[in-house]
Amino acid sequence: MSHMRLALSLAGRALGSVSPNPAVGAVVVKDGEVIGRGWTRPPGREHAEVVALRQVGRRAAGASLYTTLEPCNHFGRTKPCTEAVIAAGIEEVYAAIRDPNPNVTGGGLERLAEAGVHVRVGDQAEAAGRMIEAYLKHSTTGMPFVTAKFAASLDGKIATRAGDSKWITADRARRETHRLRATSDAIMAGVNTVLVDDPLLTARDRKGNANERQPLRVIVDSRGRTPPKARLLSEPGHTLIAVAQADSAAADKLTDVGAEVVEVPGDDGSVDLEGMLRRLGAKGICGVMVEGGGALLGSLFDLGLVDKVVAFVAPTIIGGQGAPSPVGGLGVERLSDAVRLDRLRVARFGPDVCIIGYC
């Protein structure tokens, strides 16, 4: 494994626990030997480069540092990583990608170069960018990175005409869904999904136990129909219910069971989805995974708010004109206007296929 690939694998250990900071991995190499390893700690604690440098102490002098993201050069809750790199006597820094955050934007590498450190950029850039794609969008736009995730049969159905949807995909695909949830800042669903399926919307381990850290659950519920007894409201973590207009009695009942109810009115009496996402971004939510239903996904696609699609396809034929599909909304009239994904990847999870692409 190359040194940068090792740094990327270390960065993966930070996913799901460091947002709104990026998940970064760092490796210190001297005379061809890896002598230090680090990954980003939770907000307010050390960045990956500092963790790796502290492991090696004085041995860092004359060594090379491989990091998946340009070292920061500003004071936040921690001191600049560039100063730690310079003080340690690092001779070369290899960064996979530059940091587009306005607080960094090349300043980290420039600072290192000014101090006589040799800098190189670009190794494993695509993989590094994919690792922190939510951070990259949020840090430059203030908006969360939106992933549309769904599971469908081979003929494009998410349930039977009678509404039975458990389970379209097999165990391995469902385990991957829990992994994706664990690395997201928020999970979003529409109120119809809550009313029909009564889901938990939690991230769970292989044994089915709820993870200690849970993403924020966001329910898009224009008229405030979420039942106070919905199972997700008694699960670990926090739930935000976005309404177009809050009925005070209904809102009080939801607040009494621990939910946060916020009004985000749109022009047509429904929730302003773009406004809601902007509010989530302001709360430090970098990545949102949307799990349905078809009306919510359709509206997000109609508004051009989806960045990425993760579609699990099961080798099953359901049939039925009344069986629902994963994406509703208005859709398009001409195929030339259809959303076409690029940067496609295909993975297998047991009998199921997962298609991943970007809008």
Q: Report, as an integer, the average pLDDT of 335-350.
A: 94
Contacts 24+ apart (CB under 8 A), 252-257: 253/228, 254/224, 254/226, 254/228, 256/228, 257/228, 257/233
pLDDT for the residue 82: 87
Element (H, E) at 66: strand 64-67
pLDDT for the residue 151: 94
**What DSSP line would sit under 115-178, residue for residue?**
TT-EEEE-TTHHHHHHHTHHHHHHHHHSSPEEEEEEEEETTS-SS-TT---TTSS-HHHHHHHH
- DSSP 3-state assignment of 271? strand
Q: Report, as an integer, the average pLDDT of 235-249.
A: 89
- DSSP 3-state assignment of 231? helix
Percent of the chain with pLDDT over 90: 69
**pLDDT tens per residue, range 262-292:** 999 988 889 999 999 999 999 999 999 999 8
Q: Report, as an integer, the average pLDDT of 119-145.
A: 95
| More reliable by pLDDT, 267 or 54 | 54
Q: Could you give the CA distance from residue 48 to residue 291 in angstroms, rounded to a whole number?
A: 32
**pLDDT tens per residue, range 170-224:** 999 999 999 999 999 999 999 999 998 888 899 888 888 888 899 999 999 999 8
Q: Which token pair is 129?
A: 């960018």
pLDDT for the residue 104: 59
pLDDT greater than 70 at residue 77: no
pLDDT for the residue 299: 94
Q: Report, as an integer, the average pLDDT of 63-76.
A: 85
Percent of the chain with pLDDT over 70: 97
**pLDDT tens per residue, range 288-322:** 999 988 999 999 999 999 999 999 999 999 998 88
Whether 49 is catalytic is yes
Q: Could you give the CA distance from residue 225 to residue 217 in angstroms, rounded to a whole number?
A: 16
- DSSP 3-state assignment of 73? coil
Query: Out of 49, 70, 133, 291, which one is annotated catalytic?
Result: 49
Q: Pick from 289, 355, 292: which is nearest to 328 by CA?
A: 292
What integer best gives the mean pLDDT of the chain? 91
Q: Where does 225-356 have alpha helices with state H?
A: 248-256, 273-282, 294-302
**pLDDT tens per residue, range 86-116:** 998 999 999 999 988 876 565 889 998 999 9
